[in-house]
């Protein structure tokens, strides 16, 4: 969904549209998030899903410096207190440069103690892709080698947000889809 279509379908205010444009033009490292009312907008996140459990788990990941991650965590916590942590979640993907609706999700910051690189398996290939993504994300202002050094030294820390939709949010997600002009799937 293109940005103009998103604003039309959601009926969002002009100041929110401006805020989303600034989110898309942000060239800093770190998780880019804007929350407006009951809608959360995330700029080009990395998803990690654990489907090996009876309850599948979905996480948003990114890397930023400690201060940026603390600010994002505090921002999300403040918004959670206002809206009971359930947000209609939209993600902007750089390729093909459009917004996607993920659904109504409960958001919770999670401190994961495991080393994410071990989880990815083919470490070198995935690490290269993450570094490339961070390079693109910062508008190519920081060289890949510098990003790799920042990851290795711990200057960039992972931030993780646990998303849980589950059956309890299906009706809310369907209602949002219908409000945006999309029909629910045929049974």
Q: Which class for 186: exposed (0-12), middle (13-18), buried (19 or more C-beta within 10 A)?
A: exposed
Question: pLDDT (tens digit, 9 = 90+) per residue, 90-128?
Answer: 988 877 888 888 889 988 888 765 566 666 665 677 788
Alpha carbons 130 and 136: distance in angstroms, whole number: 10
Task: Answer whether 48's CB lies under 8 Å from 61's CB.
Answer: yes
150 close to 64: Cβ distance less than 8 angstroms: no
pLDDT in tens, 61-82: 888 989 989 999 999 988 888 7
């Amino acid at each position: 969904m293109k940005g103009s279509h998103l604003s039309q379908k959601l009926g969002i205010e002009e100041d929110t549209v401006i805020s989303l444009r600034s989110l898309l033009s942000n060239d800093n490292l770190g998780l880019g998030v804007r929350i407006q009312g009951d809608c959360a907008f995330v700029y080009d996140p990395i998803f990690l899903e654990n489907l090996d459990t009876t309850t599948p788990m979905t996480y948003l990941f990114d890397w930023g410096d400690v201060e940026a991650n603390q600010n994002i965590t505090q921002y999300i916590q403040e918004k959670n207190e206002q809206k009971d942590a359930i947000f209609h979640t939209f993600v902007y993907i750089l390729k093909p440069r459009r917004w996607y609706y993920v659904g109504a999700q409960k958001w919770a910051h999670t401190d994961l103690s495991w080393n994410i690189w071990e989880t990815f398996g083919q470490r070198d290939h995935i690490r290269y892709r993450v570094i490339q993504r961070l390079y693109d994300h910062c508008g190519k202002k920081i060289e890949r080698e510098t990003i790799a050094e920042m990851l290795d030294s711990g200057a960039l820390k992972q931030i993780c947000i646990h998303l849980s939709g589950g059956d309890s949010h299906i009706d809310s997600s369907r209602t949002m889809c219908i409000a945006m002009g999309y029909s629910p799937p045929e049974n």
